[in-house]
Amino acid sequence: MWRWVRQQLGFDPPHQSDTRTIYIANRFPLNGLYTPQKFIDNRIISSKYTVWNFVPKNLFEQFRRVANFYFLIIFLVQLMIDTPTSPITSGLPLFFVITVTAIKQGYEDWLRHNSDNEVNGAPVYVVRSGGLVKTRSKNIRVGDIVRIAKDEIFPADLVLLSSDRPDGSCHITTASLDGETNLKTHVAVPETTVLRTVANLDTLVAVIECQQPEADLYRFMGRMIITQQMEEIVRPLGPESLLLRGARLKNTKEIFGVAVYTGMETKMALNYKSKSQKRSTVEKSMNTFLIIYLIILISEAIISTILKYTWQTEEKWDEPWYNQKTEHQRNSSKILRFISDFLAFLVLYNFIIPISLYVTVEMQKFLGSFFIGWDLDLYHEESGQKAQVNTSDLNEELGQVEYVFTDKTGTLTENEMQFRECSINGIKYQEINGRLVSEGPTPDSSDGNLSYLSSFSHLNNLPHLTSSSSFGTSPENETQLIKEHDLFFKAVSLCHTVQISNVQTDGIGDGPWQASLAPSQLEYYASSPDEKALVEAAARIGVVFIGSYEETMEVKILGKLEQYKLLHILEFDSDRRRMSVIVQAPSGEKFLFAKGAESSILPTCIGGEIEKTRIHVDEFALKGLRTLCMAYRQLTSKEYEVINRRLFEARTALQQREEKLANAFQFIEKDLILLGATAVEDRLQDKVRETIEALRMAGIKVWVLTGDKHETAVSVSLSCGHFHRTMNILELINQKSDNECAEQLRQLARRITEDHVIQHGLVVDGTSLSLALREHEKLFMDVCRNCSAVLCCRMAPLQKAKVIRLIKISPEKPITLAVGDGANDVSMIQEAHVGIGIMGKEGRQAARNSDYAIARFKFLSKLLFVHGHFYYIRIATLVQYFFYKNVCFITPQFLYQFYCLFSQQTLYDSVYLTLYNICFTSLPILIYSLLEQHINPHVLQNKPTLYRDISKNRQLSMTNFLYWTILGFSHAFIFFFGSYFLMGKDTSLLGNGQMFGNWTFGSLVFTVMLITVTVKMALETHFWTWINHFVTWGSIIFYFVFSLFYGGILWPFSDSQNMYFVFFQLLSSGSVWFAIILMVVMCLFLDIVKKVFDRHFHPTNTEKAQMYSNTVALSDEFIALQPLSRARNQLSKLRWKKIRVQSAQHMNLLKASTEGRTVGTC
């Protein structure tokens, strides 16, 4: 009964069973016994707040901060009891901090809402009531039939019903999901393939039963029950029937599919890690420092309270004649009086906790983030994309990264395969301008020069091919060569699963080596990027794959069309690492063509130039090229009959089908004749190798996490410099059980210990990683920590996040950064301390969910080594300076209590208490934290080792924190006692004999303190602009002007006029001016001496680089960091000052690179 009530009220989850039942087109049974299941809508939500929860949720998060919560308590105490200062002194700064922070975080979440609205509001077409209805993506319901056109993205997880193809198949790319840009084929069940129109689909009566949503992209189980002529037909559904949200339809005009998972239940959304608030290391250090200062504050309040009551043990001080107690005070509880006095002292000293620190940090992060977007060095001209900052809370974390986890496809590479070289019959060739050029002498040739392969001219029966051709061979050898080359390129053109669209074959391949025709007129789609590159290369050479129609494959060879009947496809699998096709030639001969990794092809070969080809493959691999070997076998009629029978039996088996197919493939793929090998290049993005090497020099470990195959991933790791040729590569792959995995890990650990190799690299696949993380985390981490580079392949999106999580919680607690460009990378981007999205070719999911977005991987070095370095130094100085200036501010207040019998008399006027952090000392540190460049950016980027100087939060170490704190206390003692000794014996320092009072004394202390802390900020500044000068010296001038104005007028709204004419009297004394100068010099002299001594006798690497950077002329990197108007000013100064540059040409290029640019165009 109770469960039924909860279900009716909507408290129970909508899905209680392990399966869901979906009525296609939402045609529910007519009888009333069925209760429809409740499914969520199709909205994607990446935002954090709503209109209703913004205020309570944001306030809760802000008051989790120690300083905010503390000042809230102080404000409430001031409201409840009589305290020496007004509640406004705490309430106004607190309100200002909370408001500014809420506006900043609300603006950032508003941007996320806009991004979500753009996705959820995308137009889609849904079949409803017998017609095609245009609606928005968010309105799709489970059970709706959706129409998707070519190149559109699937808005939900759909089960394919039909396509414009007769066989009901379609082709999709899942680059934004698993990082693979290859084409994947999906098929519909036979009964729905004929339903290609809306009218036909309106007659469909079917039910889908499938599993509840899960994150695994490659797993889907279900069945479709179709009712036809009062009979039910049951068809199984698998991953080949499911079209995932985020994938894109290719090479198919349109498809119809039924939505089975929507919104946050789609596999793409389930692979998103829930968005949590990221906190930087600096913020954690701030909270630690605040707790220390809170302990200091409480200690001072307790000491003051105890000393007050100790002093009042003497009767003359307990109730002096001028301060008689009331009857109520005499009869009140001593415990309550003690608590009240303790709280009063707490309020009096509360400004030692710098609440304005948080608002200054928020402003620094928000305003400072604009410099990343303005940086012209992070602007990609080809795509017109500039760097984006989605979360400014982590700017300084860019300077603390210890691990970089990067995706491969689209992040390190351009997603473009290019054919480079091949080996045919033991001869190595490379493609140059659409022609194959052999390297070295060919057989029976004495000429060692490059020769052009022109053996295909026999296919047009051209008579001019003689022994005088470039091969220089005898007719018999020439015939054999022609046959080998003929078979090689036929194998390349036939052994694949490539699909083709926009077929326009006229004029293609009409002559030999027409390099420019085929690619412009044929559009290939492949399940593997290698296949596409190879077929395109064969087309350029003259063997053009025209297309496949049902069971026929058409190839045009130098203008002559040949048709091959496709008999069987032996699909690729990771165990065999090869694929094969069996075709029947126009002559009736049957051939088996096979291609695969050399380790899987060469052992099955019994003929051909095996050894020479193996050498060539090794040479290709050393160049970082991806290699495949090609082989063939001619089948007799009897052999084919046996093969055909075994394949039929294996494919129709109901039990152990996979095992029987593997045995059949092994029986077929044997006794092959080796034809040669191919080498293609997965083109890396520009400067990837240099960027990875720079990251290593900076002490950052680089891990590559990819969903690609093992061989592909290793090849790219070698080519991009992630793995070195001299590195000892260890492998943890194809592990089947926990015990086997544990034993392999122990062997790897022993090898690392025993091998005297400087660097080790580790390769691990997704299956083995799951076993390693299940019960052997510590052993796995020990192996990883001893490896210079780690490559994880065949990774599911959530596995990527788990790996990063494992590193994050390790004992060292390193700072992690994740880089990716697809939706499959969102989980790891959100899991890492810092997430970087690449705005590449795989959609914008990664860029939208990242903390920062850049156009190319190479920009990562500038982002970390320059911006990260600057942001960290700026905010580290800001934090420590704030604590320093507040110690200087409050310590004289504590010392003053010893001279006023702990009466809680304030040393400063309440206006000065309120404005000290808000106005008088706020701008110099804010401008410093925005513009400071302690080293030339050019030096930082070219010396990655300087990044090590700021790693592990060195600038905010306890040693540095204590130095700034002790410095603040020492300066405060000089302020207070310097002023006290100046006035202690002779208080009539004015010319008219008028004496100084306590407000004059407090004003003198405040004036010396303000000048000292401001000049201290000036000493910390290395990079001076007119803005720095204006706010630094302007703050001091503003204080004097304000004090004269504030003390020169009787304010009608003020209860007391304590400061009336005080500042005029103070400044009229020459002794005061001398004392101010003397105390400021005394405070800063030792600090200056220490800096000079350390810089000349114990300089750090950073200080050495600072001295070097002073000799470096202003560079374009330096200019790019400024706002555009400032960059132009610097360029004009360069021209007029005639600063030496490398060349006049370089100067012209420098001008041209910035002329005409605006922030909007960047």
pLDDT digits over 885-940, tens only?
Answer: 999 998 998 998 888 877 878 888 878 888 888 888 889 999 999 999 988 888 88
Q: Which two tokens stand for residue 257?
A: 């599919």
Using 50, 70 and 90 to split pLDDT, how confident is the model at 447?
Answer: very low
In DSSP terms, which residues pair with 135 in a beta bridge? 124
Q: Which position has the token pair 């009466």?
A: 903
Interval 330-345: pLDDT, tens: 666 678 878 888 888 8
Which is higher by pLDDT, 708 or 947? 947
In this structure, are residues 851 and 390 in contact, taking their beta carbons and an 8 Å threshold?
Answer: yes
Do 882 and 357 contact (CB within 8 A), yes or no? yes
The amino acid at residue 97 is V
DSSP 524-588: EE-SSHHHHHHHHHHHHHTEEEEEEETTEEEEEETTEEEEEEEEEEE---TTT-EEEEEEE-TTS
Residues whose CB falls within 8 Å of the CB of residue 454, separated by 6 or more in sequence, listed in order = 465, 469, 470, 512, 513
Task: Taking the CA atoms of 145, 150, 154 and 155 in sequence, report the sign of the dihedral they define.
Answer: negative
Q: H or E stretch including 1040?
A: helix 1026-1047
* Residue 597 neighbours by CB distance under 10 Å: 18
Confidence of residue 873 (pLDDT cuts 50, 70, 90): very high
CA distance 714 to 748: 18
B/e letters for 530-562, b = 16+ CB within 10 Å, e = fewer, are: bbbbbbbbbbbbbbbbbbbeeeebbbbbbbeeb
Per the annotation, the verdict on 444 as an active-site residue is: no
396 CB-side CA count, 13 A: 30
Q: Given this model, what pLDDT does residue 435 score? A: 78
Closest CA to 831 of 817, 843, 842, 811: 817
Instruction: Kindly state the average pLDDT of the residues 285-303.
Output: 87
Window from 125-134, 249-258, 751-760, 777-786 with minimum mean pLDDT: 751-760
- Amino acid identity at 788: S
Dihedral pair phi/psi, residue 1069, rounded to 5°: -100, 125
- Find out whether 970 and 299 touch, Cβ atoms under 8 Å: no
| DSSP track, 200-214 | HHTT--EEEEEEPP-
Determine the Cα angle at 1064 with ends 1060 and 1069, to 5°: 135
Of the candidate ranges 174-183, 228-237, 390-399, 518-527, the one whose mean pLDDT is the lowest: 518-527
Q: How far apart, in whole angstroms, are the C-alpha atoms of residue 1142 and residue 1136?
A: 16
For 636-652, write each residue's pLDDT tens digit.
888 888 988 888 777 66
The model's confidence at residue 5, banded by pLDDT at 50, 70 and 90, is: very low
Asked whether the beta carbons of 1012 and 1081 are under 8 A apart, the reply is: no
Contact 611/676 with Cβ under 8 angstroms? no
Q: Residue 623: CA atoms inside 13 Å, Cβ hemisphere, count? A: 18
DSSP state of 997: -
**Helix, strand or coil, per DSSP, at residue 895:** helix
660-695: per-residue pLDDT in tens? Answer: 888 888 888 888 999 999 988 877 888 888 999 999
C-alpha dihedral, 1008 to 1011 to 1017 to 1018, nearest 10°: -130
Q: What distance in Å separates the CA atoms of residue 1140 and residue 930, rounded to the nearest whole number? A: 29
For residue 624, what pLDDT band results from cuts at 50, 70 and 90? low
Which is the catalytic residue, given 144, 178, 341, 407? 407
| 8-state DSSP, 385 | B
Instruction: Report the percentage of the chain scoring pLDDT > 70.
Output: 79
Give me the chain's average pLDDT, please: 78
Kindly state the average pLDDT of the residues 416-433: 86
Q: What is the rounded distance in angstroms from the CA atom of residue 57 to the CA atom of residue 71?
A: 19
pLDDT of the residue at 968: 92
- CA-to-CA distance for 853 and 819, rounded, in angstroms? 9
Residue 267 has pLDDT above 50, yes or no: yes
Between helices 66-80 and 356-368, what is the axis angle to 10°?
140
Higher pLDDT, 65 or 182: 65
Q: Which residue has the tokens 């580079």?
A: 789
Predicted pLDDT at 261: 93
- State the pLDDT at residue 867: 92
**SS3 (DSSP) at 135:** strand
Q: Provide the whole-model pTM.
A: 0.69
Query: 743 with 732: CB under 8 angstroms?
Result: no
Is pLDDT at 1000 greater than 80 in this prediction?
yes
Q: What are the tens digits of pLDDT across the range 137-152?
A: 989 999 899 999 988 9
Q: Average pLDDT of 1025-1037?
A: 93
Three-state DSSP at 883 gives helix
- 1106 versus 49: the higher-pLDDT residue is 49
d(CA 109, CA 116): 10
